[in-house]
Chains A and B, each alone.
Chain A
Amino acid sequence: MTSNADENSILEARGLHREFKMGGEILHILRGVDLAVRHREWATILGASGSGKSTLLHLLGALDRPHRGTLRFKGQDVFSMRGARLDRFRSRHAGFIFQFYHLLPELNVLENTLVSSMAATGICGWLRHRGTMRQRAEETLAMLGLQDRLRHRPAKLSGGERQRVAIARALMNQPDVLLADEPTGNLDAETGGQILDILRKLCDAGQTIITVTHDPAVAEIADTSWTLEDGRILPSVT
């Protein structure tokens, strides 16, 4: 197994296979991926465009299901869960950050940040803890330098600001793992560097992060880097 699998692993993937049907053809995107990520580790998966990085990230975040393989999260078999149970698991344990931010355009910055908490807690939980959640959202946004943009909608934000809102949204439920898909892919070098600094600080504070990217600069700042090639993880380079 090409991984850091040990008792400190928060996430272990074994033999992940994923294929897609395109027309009459079957494309084997992942051909048996094994990896393990430790607590408080920033792991990066490098790969060329179309190598299956995003597919792998979606599997690791339980947003997709493999055709074969297992994923254990804190020892729990993730893919044994289905439906609403899996949705709840994902909302509480995984935080996604996307290349194109994927903020909801009708909601302002604060609402975009809070929506993940709302999805995780339900109406009763929200009504009981809305004050606390709101405070946490404002503090997180302030930490990310967005304290003056709470009422602004995404259309009024720069790329870097939108990505910071996406990070805040992902952090709201205090996930065990942050999953970032090309977090700097749509940003200029300077802004991208700022985002990477934020992620570094989060990791140093104890957040486990998994990023997928084609940018070697991200691999340099991460703790661990793997290369995804031909549907498999190559041995670790760090």
Chain B
Amino acid sequence: MYKLLLIIRYFQRKLIALFALLAVSLCTAMVIIVISVMGGFLDHMIHTAQKLGGDVVIMRDLGGFPHYGPLLETLRELPEVDGATALIRGYGLMKLHGTIRGADIIGIDPAEFDTVTDYREALHWDNDAFCNYFDRRMAATAPRGDPRLKTTRDWFDDNDIIDHSMAFSIPVGRSELPGIVPGIAASPINERDAEGQYKLQHWSTGRTATLTVLPLTAEGGTLNPAVEQFTVVNEFKSGFMELDANVVYIPFNVLQIMLGMDAYTEWDDDDQPIGTVPARATEIMVSGADGIPLARLKSVVDAHVARFVNARQLPPLYVRTWLVNRFGTLIQAVQKEKLMMAFLFGVISLVAVVMIAVIFYMIVMDKTRDIGVLRAIGASRGGIMTIFLGYALAIGVAGTSIGLALAAAIVLHLNEIQDLLARLFNFRMWDPRIYYFDRIPGRLDVHEIVAITLCAVVASVLGALVPAWLASRTDPVTSLRYE
């Protein structure tokens, strides 16, 4: 009991221990903040990458595979599958606003695609976007206001501009061209304001885009390039720059025809029909039912596809998870960076361990006489060691608690802190005009926090281990001689 009493009293009254407590607090806060921001970044990246990626992808190569229709129907019957849709993926050039750039062109059925992904949610220009824009414009022209702005604003308030058919009616006119939905960063003129919001005056909706693609035969041979014009009916923003800068969506049937993947009749030299070459698609994207783990979904789809391929004696198809298929390397790199950051900051936190060791050594030196007195009244060597280890434990627990509170306050208000720094010092570390995330991502994970705080407490006790041992070995007679 004397041990507990002394631990409490030392903790309450030894000023020098505040330095140890401060070291533990700051190191704990530092590691939690870094892990939380990196973790938030990673979570955001995974979420945005998966937004338009589905769960599992069945694919072969750019030449595509036939009989995707029957495969789709049978896949949709699996209890593990929530939805499935066919895609055609090609590569080509897009001319928009007079600028030509490369593009990943994906042909989709928007309604089906939306059952497998968050396509509708990713469409950037919606009623709210337009109405907010007009509200800001009207506020800028207050108090007089602009009646034309109000008229247009009222129209957007009354009409739903999300149109899955890609036949989008816009106030500025009508178009008979098929629709195209490019990524919002694919347009050369799209610009973000200081708050990271895209400026409406630079929107591409209603503009004409020209796509040029290179069709391939089923055997991989090339055909003449196909060129088509489209009307931009909306732009999508997934939040993942790789997609938003390079991908454009057009109607499935249009791209299928452009790439020569539609069904056609083969003729012999006598102009007699030989047979029909079935239509092709390059991918089938599958989403899993709620609660189905990704690995299990892949396994089920794998087995189903294998049976389908064997039954029709088709060339093999490959089943990939969304992570492996498209952005696995990038995301795994970020995961490794997160681990590396945690490791490095953990190493840096060893400084705190050394500081605690030094502080406790000083405390033990200062308490040499008291140790002698305690031994004289019957305290054991183990009891002496327990006092200092318990003291370190108290510092560790208090320090990690303070560090955790500090880290939580910072992580949960990271963007407000940045905004304050921007207002006070005109310094913005995370410029939404440059970085793709509008706000600094951060999230507190319970498991990570528990692990970090436990390590910090253990490190605090370890730091005091040697000084505590030295204290227990102190000769009471020698220590009592010191005056």
Q: Which residues of A contact B376 (CB under 8 A)?
A: 61, 63, 90, 96, 98, 102
Q: Is B477 an interface residue (CB 8 A)?
A: yes
The smallest beta-carbon distance between B190 and chain A, in angstroms, is 67
Q: How many B residues touch A, CB cutoff 8 Å?
A: 28
Whole-angstrom CA separation of A127 from B60 in the bound complex: 75
Q: Which residues of A contact B2 (CB under 8 A)?
A: 115, 118-119
Closest to B481 in A: A54
Give the interface segment out of B5-13, B244-252, B422-430, B452-460. B5-13
B477 contacts A169, C-beta separation under 8 Å = no
Q: Which residues of B contact A55 (CB under 8 A)?
A: 477
Partner of A115, one of B5, B10, B372, B381: B5
Q: Is B120 an interface residue (CB 8 A)?
A: no
A116 contacts B476, C-beta separation under 8 Å = no
Whole-angstrom CA separation of A103 from B6 in the bound complex: 13
Known contacts: A102-B369, A107-B5, A111-B5. The answer to whether A63 contacts B477 by CB under 8 A is yes
Q: Is A3 an interface residue (CB 8 A)?
A: no
Q: Is A87 an interface residue (CB 8 A)?
A: yes
Known contacts: A104-B370, A119-B2, A119-B383. The answer to whether A63 contacts B378 by CB under 8 A is no
Q: Which residues of A contact B480 (CB under 8 A)?
A: 58, 98, 102
Closest to A123 in B: B1
Q: Is B328 an interface residue (CB 8 A)?
A: no
Whole-angstrom CA separation of A199 from B267 in the bound complex: 127
Q: Is A38 an interface residue (CB 8 A)?
A: no
Partner of A126, one of B1, B13, B375, B483: B1
> Digit string of A47-90 for contact with B (CB within 8 Å is 1, else 0)?
00000001100100101100000000000000000011001101
Partner of A87, one of B10, B12, B370, B378: B378
A120 contacts B477, C-beta separation under 8 Å = no
Whole-angstrom CA separation of A111 from B377 in the bound complex: 14
Q: Is B306 an interface residue (CB 8 A)?
A: no
Closest to B377 in A: A116
Q: Is B373 an interface residue (CB 8 A)?
A: yes
Known contacts: A63-B477, A98-B480, A119-B383. The answer to whether A106 contacts B378 by CB under 8 A is no
Partner of B477, one of A58, A111, A118, A123: A58
Q: Is B334 an interface residue (CB 8 A)?
A: no
Q: Which residues of B contact A90 (CB under 8 A)?
A: 376-378
Q: Which residues of B contact A24 (CB under 8 A)?
A: none
Name the interface residues of B258-294: CB closer than 8 Å to any CB of A.
none
Q: Is A17 an interface residue (CB 8 A)?
A: no
Known contacts: A98-B480, A102-B373, A119-B374. The answer to whether A87 contacts B6 by CB under 8 A is no
Name the interface residues of A95-145: CB closer than 8 Å to any CB of B.
96, 98, 100, 102-107, 111, 115-116, 118-123, 126-127
B382 contacts A106, C-beta separation under 8 Å = no
Whole-angstrom CA separation of A153 from B480 in the bound complex: 20
Whole-angstrom CA separation of A90 from B481 in the bound complex: 19
Q: Which residues of A contact B374 (CB under 8 A)?
A: 104, 115, 119
Whole-angstrom CA separation of A227 from B121 in the bound complex: 99
Q: Which residues of A contact B14 (CB under 8 A)?
A: 106
Partner of A116, one of B372, B378, B380, B383: B378
Known contacts: A84-B380, A118-B1, A119-B2. The answer to whether A63 contacts B373 by CB under 8 A is no
The smallest beta-carbon distance between B393 and chain A, in angstroms, is 17
Partner of B377, one of A58, A83, A84, A115: A115
Whole-angstrom CA separation of A127 from B1 in the bound complex: 9
Q: Is B379 an interface residue (CB 8 A)?
A: yes
The smallest beta-carbon distance between A73 and chain B, in angstroms, is 14
A63 contacts B380, C-beta separation under 8 Å = no
Q: Which residues of A contact B373 (CB under 8 A)?
A: 98, 102-104
A119 contacts B6, C-beta separation under 8 Å = no
Closest to A119 in B: B378
Whole-angstrom CA separation of A84 from B2 in the bound complex: 16
Known contacts: A104-B373, A111-B5, A119-B374. The answer to whether A83 contacts B380 by CB under 8 A is yes
Whole-angstrom CA separation of A115 from B480 in the bound complex: 18
Whole-angstrom CA separation of A83 from B383 in the bound complex: 12
Known contacts: A63-B476, A126-B1. The answer to whether A106 contacts B377 by CB under 8 A is no
Known contacts: A102-B373, A106-B9, A106-B13. The answer to whether A119 contacts B477 by CB under 8 A is no
> Digit string of B354-387 for contact with A (CB within 8 Å is 1, else 0)?
0000000000000001101111111111110000
The smallest beta-carbon distance between A134 and chain B, in angstroms, is 12
The smallest beta-carbon distance between A28 and chain B, in angstroms, is 16
Q: Is A91 an interface residue (CB 8 A)?
A: yes
Most chain A CB neighbours (cut-off 10 Å) among B370, B383, B477, B481: B477
The smallest beta-carbon distance between A206 and chain B, in angstroms, is 21
A87 contacts B13, C-beta separation under 8 Å = no
Closest to A84 in B: B380
The smallest beta-carbon distance between A136 and chain B, in angstroms, is 15
The smallest beta-carbon distance between B309 and chain A, in angstroms, is 72
Whole-angstrom CA separation of A87 from B374 in the bound complex: 10
Q: Which residues of A contact B380 (CB under 8 A)?
A: 83-84, 87
Q: Is A162 an interface residue (CB 8 A)?
A: no
The smallest beta-carbon distance between A90 and chain B, in angstroms, is 5
Whole-angstrom CA separation of A115 from B377 in the bound complex: 8
When A and B form their complex, which 9 residue pairs have the shortest distance between CB atoms, in order from nearest?
A91-B378, A118-B2, A106-B9, A126-B1, A118-B1, A116-B377, A102-B373, A119-B378, A87-B380
Please list the residues of chain A having a beta carbon within 8 angstroms of any beta carbon in chain B: 54-55, 58, 61, 63-64, 83-84, 87-88, 90-92, 96, 98, 100, 102-107, 111, 115-116, 118-123, 126-127, 169, 173
Beyond the given A63-B477, A84-B382, A96-B376, please list 20 additional residue pairs across the A-B interface where CB-CB is below 8 A. A63-B476, A64-B476, A83-B380, A84-B380, A91-B377, A102-B376, A102-B480, A106-B6, A106-B10, A106-B12, A106-B13, A111-B5, A115-B5, A115-B6, A118-B2, A118-B5, A119-B378, A119-B383, A127-B1, A173-B378
Please list the residues of chain B having a beta carbon within 8 angstroms of any beta carbon in chain A: 1-2, 5-6, 9-10, 12-14, 369-370, 372-383, 476-477, 480-481, 483
- Can you list 25 A-B pairs with a CB-CB distance of less than 8 A? A58-B477, A63-B375, A63-B477, A64-B476, A84-B380, A87-B379, A91-B378, A91-B379, A98-B480, A102-B480, A104-B374, A106-B9, A106-B10, A106-B12, A107-B5, A107-B6, A115-B374, A115-B377, A116-B377, A116-B378, A118-B1, A119-B378, A119-B383, A126-B1, A127-B1
